[in-house]
Amino acid sequence: MARVTDIFVADAGSEPMRSVDHVEAVAGGLRGDRYCEGRGHYTPFDVCEVTLIAREDLERIDEELGPSLAAGEHRRNLVTEGVDLHDLLDHRFRVGEATLRGTRPRPPCAHVEELAEAEGVARALGDGRGGICAEVLDPGDITVGAEVVDLGSTDRTDDIVARLRSED
């Protein structure tokens, strides 16, 4: 079963991430998180409403890098296990009571490395290990342990082509 193993939020840009047991996904992000509140480091230039990263990738990073990023130094909101996050891009998926849509990969940045105070963090989060961004489609609570369920692609191309063929 794919699930959420950790949840992190930060009150404002550059503030330490703090671990929480639950969070409310609302239009614009996660209630109480810096980007939802308009206080993120990159607001308004590069905002991801919700960021996700795979526990499996964090474990590989820990092996390569030495210092652990498990306490939120990765600067991502939801840590998952049992799901390839890239499979959720352009898909709707449920996390707990909320429905999200994977919008794009989340590349690492120098700011993450600066805040982690560990050389190589940005490089370690590269190669597709930086997670993904998602937008909130339907609000709801997300708790540690919540199941992650892929609800299918948001790409309607196949549906449109099938409909056009049936009209011929």
Per the structure, the complete domain to which residue 13 belongs is given by: 3-167
Residue-by-residue DSSP string for 46-63 = S--SEEEEEHHHHHHHHH
Distance of alpha carbon 51 from alpha carbon 79, whole angstroms: 9
pLDDT number for residue 121: 65
For β-strands 50-54 and 78-81, DSSP reports them as: parallel
pLDDT number for residue 168: 65
Domain count within the chain: 1
Q: What is the CATH number of the domain that holds 46?
A: 2.40.33.20
Backbone dihedral region for residue 41 (phi beyond 0: left; psi -120 to 50: alpha; all else: beta): alpha
The segments of the chain whose pLDDT lies below 70 read: 41-43, 65-67, 109-124, 156-164, 168
